[in-house]
A and B are shown apart, each in its own frame.
Chain A
């Protein structure tokens, strides 16, 4: 493998005898380019991980080596050279700041530029009496700001970076990690297991309603850095948590791989609401650059009457491959998927959900709104599966596609597999073009062309947007407008 020898040499120079025990004195902020067992050791050492974690990663890596990159129907992109990327990057500071005063003003300025809501900026800045949104900002692989941990602690909620959780709550992490998305689930999930650098761990104890929305902003910022976040959320019996994930990335020229894994586990009567606004760099107007988003998101409704709802607004990335799914294993559990996916220019999105009904009386709702502009391709791919033992299952699916340009494409690929005759499955799908009459009406009321498109599109997405937490919805609305800039005319 090209680059490996060089990588080894570099690691040896900075880490010394890294193979035996933890390395505490590493000055180097980046692992050398490329992927090898040594790079994985470097990451694990850098994260001060216990030995079992390193072993787990190495096992995943070896499994990944034997797997083949999937080959999808509706997305195409140049071959990814896994040796031409960095798998670990950290901010310059050696230790995470102890308080917000220590947060790099440049970082705060970046947050401002990214349009992070004032409310969250205030929280980040530690303004007295500012609203309680806990921000665990994942900035370039390592969490540099974590707020409100104390208050969450009082409620018994654990909210921290996964690296910390591995150190502080190893038993809990061991118990749940990769139980929803197995290591060998898919090519990118296996890769993530081997090299994940950060992410979030949440545990909400029995009967606790998490006192605030938990919010994480992801941002990719170092040149050529593959990002492999890992999120694990466990809601114990009768608990509730709402988690917000949002991200943006600055202009760049080279394609970047992002392969996160998100696992949600809801025990009896627990509810998890997971909202995403995804705005990674989609590439320029010619389709150059942009991020590849191959993320695996899956929820296990393990307990009876548990509930998980995924709400996503996807506007970014050059190539998106994403199916937040629910395994409805607990009797009477509920899975929901509300999605808006906007593609513009040369973006390709293949997204949807899988609802796997394993237990009786489980219900699922799927509302998907796809908007295609420019020369983009937007595919909804969904699976509703009902196992033979699952009596009285209900599913409602609605897929609407809106075409903003005539050169764009919208595709709906629903798969339905029903092995139990008592199931009630409903599926509705529509495709429409943005109407000239609506455009003229808006423009005759003073709206510019882009404003008019944004308004009509926001209306089209209303049913999904209303499932987002209030502040997030406002952000998302603006984002829809921004994403469609230049899409008309």
Chain B
């Protein structure tokens, strides 16, 4: 489903991703772990097509399409979702309006009709409920004044509503209390299907005990230096990154 070959990404003059290879098949869940500053978020942003992140060489293929030829919103239309490490506040825009615009943009890209207001409300309420989100939060401005954990939960509601083929979740587990972590993990597991894939970026084994990955990668200094099964995460938790590097 996702096939990244020899990817190099620069931000400004600085090269951050330095020849990265990654293949994720439908039905799989992968996890990327690695030191702060290794380039995990940069990789995620490059896959999503952030403007100021320049892909200097290499390729990203998603669902058989050349992602680098697509605009960021077209990538979303193709079924990509990025859960942000630091979700962004948009003052004056209600969560509901944001979600509805997002959903309808994606539907439009796919040549589908807009969802009616009633249908949309039903869908959102259902997803918010499954993720234990207070429906009142849907009326608030996007992420404005949300606590760290609330922001992450909001990302998950967005994912559930957009129902992507590939969800890249950048530290969605950080900042969550234990109950919230379980709810979020359930949300991720619901999204795991034969026709979908998940890429988790995390620092903690704890999430991976709820959402068991098929493959764990270790990223250091812009490259994947080691890959293994879920036991690799346990090993890292015990010994740290020193041995791997």
A interface with B by C-beta (< 8 Å): 435-449, 451-452, 455-456, 458-463
Contacts and interface: CB of A to CB of B under 8 A. Distances in A.
Contacts of B71: 443, 448-449
A447 B88 contact: no
Contacts of B77: 446
A444 B89 CA distance: 14
Nearest to A445: B102
B72 A440 contact: yes
Interface in B95-109: 97-98, 101-103, 105-106, 109
B168 to A, nearest CB: 10
Given A440-B50, A455-B98, A446 B88 contact: no
Given A444-B82, A447-B105, A459-B141, A438 B90 contact: yes
A463 B141 CA distance: 12
20 contacts: A435-B88, A439-B51, A440-B48, A440-B88, A441-B88, A443-B76, A444-B50, A444-B82, A445-B76, A445-B105, A446-B102, A448-B73, A449-B73, A455-B90, A456-B90, A459-B91, A459-B142, A460-B92, A461-B92, A462-B92
Dominant secondary structure of chain A at its interface with chain B:
helix
Given A447-B102, A447-B105, A451-B101, A441 B51 contact: no
A449 B77 CA distance: 14
A437 B106 CA distance: 20
A455 B101 contact: yes
Nearest to A463: B92
Given A441-B90, A444-B72, 19 more contacts: A435-B88, A438-B89, A440-B48, A440-B72, A440-B88, A441-B84, A441-B87, A443-B76, A444-B84, A445-B98, A445-B158, A446-B76, A446-B103, A446-B105, A449-B71, A455-B98, A456-B93, A459-B142, A462-B93
A9 to B, nearest CB: 59
Contacts of B105: 445-448, 451
A461 B162 CA distance: 27
Nearest to B45: A440
Interface in B62-93: 71-73, 76-77, 82, 84, 87-93
B51 A436 contact: yes
7 nearest CB pairs, A to B: A459-B92, A462-B92, A459-B93, A441-B88, A446-B76, A445-B102, A443-B72
Interface in B24-58: 45, 48-52
A462 B142 CA distance: 13
A458 B90 CA distance: 10
A458 B94 CA distance: 11
Contacts of B49: 443
B73 A446 contact: yes
Nearest to B106: A446
Contacts of A456: 90, 93
Given A436-B52, A440-B50, A447 B92 contact: no
Nearest to B89: A438
A441 B155 CA distance: 11
Nearest to A369: B92
B232 to A, nearest CB: 29
A458 to B, nearest CB: 7
Interface in B137-173: 141-142, 158, 162
A430 to B, nearest CB: 12
Contacts of B45: 440
Nearest to B80: A444
A446 B90 contact: no
A443 B93 CA distance: 15
Nearest to B82: A444
A449 B103 CA distance: 16
Contact of A446 (B51, B92, B109): B109
A457 to B, nearest CB: 9
Contacts of B101: 445, 447, 451, 455
A22 to B, nearest CB: 55
A448 to B, nearest CB: 5
Contacts of A444: 48, 50, 72, 76, 82, 84
